[in-house]
A and B are shown apart, each in its own frame.
Chain A
Amino acid sequence: MLSQLENFLNCRDHLKESLPIIIEGFVDFYGEERREEIESKFSKALYYAYRSPKSLELLLRDIETCVSQEILEKYQIESKTSLSLEDLMDRATFRYENILPIYAFRRFYELYKLGPEGREKKFREDAYESIKSRIPFITKEEYEEMVETQRILPKYEVLHPILKDDISYYIDMRNVDKKYERAFEQAQPILQKVNPGITINNYSYYLDQEELQSLIYLGEQYPRMVEEYQERMKKYAPYLAEEKFHEALEERLKDKYLILLIENNLDLLGEEDIRSLEKAKKEKPKYLYSSLSKNIQFLFGYGLTGNHPIESFGTAAEEILTSTGTTDWEKKKVKENRVKYFQMKGLDLGEDYAAYEKSEEAKQIAPTEERVKQFQETRLRLLNEYNIDFYSNTPLHQEVLKELEEKKVLDKDDCLNASLYLKKMGTETNPNLIQAENGYELFTIIAIRCYRPDCGLDHSIIHEMNHLFELSLKEVKGNHYIGLCGWDELHESFNQDEKSPVDTLHEDETKRNYELFNEIINELIAQDIHKKMIEKHRFIFNTEEDVEYKGQTSYEHTWVLVKFFYEEFKKEIIESRRNGNIQVIWDAVGKENFDELNELFHIFYENFSGYKINHVLTSIMKKEETEQTKLYYDLIRKSKQILEKMRRHHMLNLMKEESEEEKTAKTLAG
């Protein structure tokens, strides 16, 4: 598991290092005669296996868990305890070494060993050190005097109340026992697993028990475990530093864009609020949000993605109030937020919204629809800028940009911009162009999002690599080019001047004619390739235990439409999908039939994409008949009819070819 996690951490290099086995996988499927073509196409690509800042965080937590478990397991065996790792760790790791149950036990046991006198002595020593760290001039004699008299010395009466409270705590010797009792309470969960009858008073009777002795051993070894953990984690220091970099970048940018959002909406604020903003900008406090006025906090939330009460005056909110179709809780929320807004603006007519509805002053204060729309547009514009600022400046992104610059791709609008990290899939194959000796050549950017080890990543890679294999350049005219990918034709223009503005908030939804059909067939081919790779133990990020070549995409819902077509015409399908050879499949099955099958996919996705397929499959399982189930079965029936027509076309073609061969043979013989 740890080595798998490490591969994900180092995903960029790991994917590149795995190219040889991927090539072998493709050669196994397509044949040795295609090796040169496979190697050539795979060499003309930039591979960007990446992990988002969030997935880096999750990977590092998983690694901390793995390392902690490995260390604890070793000592668990040594100690001969029957307690499980879960008992000893309770899902915590040595990252926060003071929260593991075994640490809580150690703390209690150390205090137990001291005995009552020792505990009091330690308490006094620790108390004095603690007070001295805040009141450096206090002497030990003064502290002891306060303990004896149970009073704060007059000279310290002028101290801040919080400091005086601390002194009061540290001179009260009743806290020695309270501290000991608290330590026992924290250790109790693990002690009760040893023996449910253990209490703070009878603990010593159980000392001879083997299980408790094992626990004591583990408690004593605890510092060594922590040391070992810290030593092992040094290996991951660069990634932990990268995580810290992301955190600092995010904090800095959140503050920056919160200020920008406020500055773009100063008309909503009073003078005092604006002064608190100016003060915050000048002083740059550690926690910007809490240094701002209450009104700013209320109006702008935590920033760009927060809830903004001004939006309770917008069109959507108005519709909620006026529509008969909305429920009470929705109307109540709009009214609540509006009341809070009015109160923030200085108009307090109580909590009942009805009072504000009748108020002329409220009408004056309420923002116009225009103003709300302006707020929303500004927020979205700033959110886009924040996303670009953040994702473009992560170390991983900066590295890949350097690599891309060396390749000198012609289209500046490559996919390597901030929007990649926010796409819902983020795994894609993007053709681009480079200048070659004989003109233009395709150069492809493959972006692979590496999320978590259980994400079926190997299969995603094979799916994209097959797109790469099926890519070819048809023609270039001016600054437009046509690429072919399987049966799909890509009409692209390449922008050599500068990058177009990046939109991180919307994705391109346009569908090409054969896109859906093409993707499904690509997926089936990828499954065949991957299945062979798994049989030969060729793994990239996944392992034998977690690799899957099926069930990784919802393309398979449409398998019912193509399964027989794919199996029967596999040879022609594969041949037709490279280098503009679509005519091969058209000749084999008839273009009309091919297009008719293509059309079924459009109908399928219009009606059964997303949740809808689950609904219809559930109805089918329950043997219910609905409009949707009828349509589903109708599509399957039509796909079978089309397949029949394809078979007839294919037979006629074969007969024609045989007849042509006979004629040719006769002519040659004659």
Chain B
Amino acid sequence: MIQRIEIIINHGAIEETKALILCPENTCQINKNHYKVTEEWIQELLNIIYLWKKEYGSDSKIDSEEFQVVVKAEDGITKFHGKGIFPHNYEMLKELLEDVYVESA
């Protein structure tokens, strides 16, 4: 069973998006904001990332966007990472994060 999903997107040197999804509680915190999410939303997130490579590598550019997704489950931890190099459906992950239902948790 998945316990939590951590997503960090580093937009160059300064800006960072940090998302923490607590699966049993169906809540999501993105930076300072709290949201409720549905089971379907979580499954959609998992559907986006499940075939990702664990490491997409880092390009040589210093300010490239970098992502890290960590899925912590009872039977282990799965990490996905890339800097400047992204999975083909990476934008779908970012769109999904924008798509959370806004409600104070």
Interface residues of A (CB under 8 A from B): 305-307, 311-312, 314, 316-317, 320, 325-330, 333-334, 337, 379-380, 383, 424-425, 456, 507, 509, 511, 516, 519, 551-556, 605, 609-611
Contacts and interface: CB of A to CB of B under 8 A. Distances in A.
Contacts of B12: 425, 553-554
A509 B60 contact: yes
Contacts of B2: 329
B62 A519 contact: yes
Interface in B64-88: 64-66, 68, 71, 73-78, 81, 83-84, 88
A391 to B, nearest CB: 14
Contacts of A516: 62
Contacts of B51: 311-312, 314, 316-317, 320, 334
A358 B89 CA distance: 32
Contact of A554 (B50, B53, B62, B89): B62
Given A317-B51, A554-B12, A329 B68 contact: no
Given A306-B92, A327-B78, A519-B62, A333 B13 contact: no
Contacts of B78: 326-327, 329-330
B47 A605 contact: no
B47 A554 contact: no
B50 A330 contact: yes
Given A424-B65, A554-B13, A333 B47 contact: yes
Contacts of A424: 59, 61, 63-65, 84
Given A328-B73, A379-B88, A425-B61, A552 B14 contact: yes
A486 to B, nearest CB: 16
Interface of B: 2, 10, 12-14, 46-48, 50-51, 53, 58-66, 68, 71, 73-78, 81, 83-84, 88-89, 91-92
Which interface residue of A326, A519, A554 has the most chain B CB atoms within 10 A?
Answer: A554
Contact of B89 (A305, A314, A326, A330): A305
A521 to B, nearest CB: 13
A456 B91 CA distance: 24
B58 A609 contact: yes
B22 to A, nearest CB: 15
Contact of B50 (A325, A334, A511, A609): A334
A551 B10 CA distance: 14
A326 B63 CA distance: 31
Contact of A456 (B14, B48, B68, B81): B14
A556 B51 CA distance: 35
Contacts of B77: 327
A301 to B, nearest CB: 9
B61 A305 contact: no
Given A327-B76, A456-B14, A610-B83, A605 B62 contact: yes
A330 B50 CA distance: 6
B15 to A, nearest CB: 8
B93 to A, nearest CB: 11
Contacts of A556: 13
B13 A610 contact: no
Per CB-CB distance, the 4 closest pairs between chain A and chain B, nearest first, are A333-B50, A554-B13, A327-B76, A610-B83
A329 B73 contact: yes
A456 B13 CA distance: 11
A134 to B, nearest CB: 33
11 contacts: A305-B88, A307-B92, A320-B50, A320-B51, A325-B76, A329-B46, A333-B46, A334-B51, A424-B63, A425-B12, A610-B10
A511 B84 CA distance: 15
A329 B71 contact: yes
Contact of A327 (B66, B73, B88): B73
Given A307-B48, A424-B84, A551 B60 contact: no
Contact of B71 (A305, A327, A511): A327
A511 B14 contact: no
A329 B81 CA distance: 18
Contacts of B58: 609-610
Nearest to A460: B63
Nearest to B73: A327
A59 to B, nearest CB: 16
Contacts of A314: 51
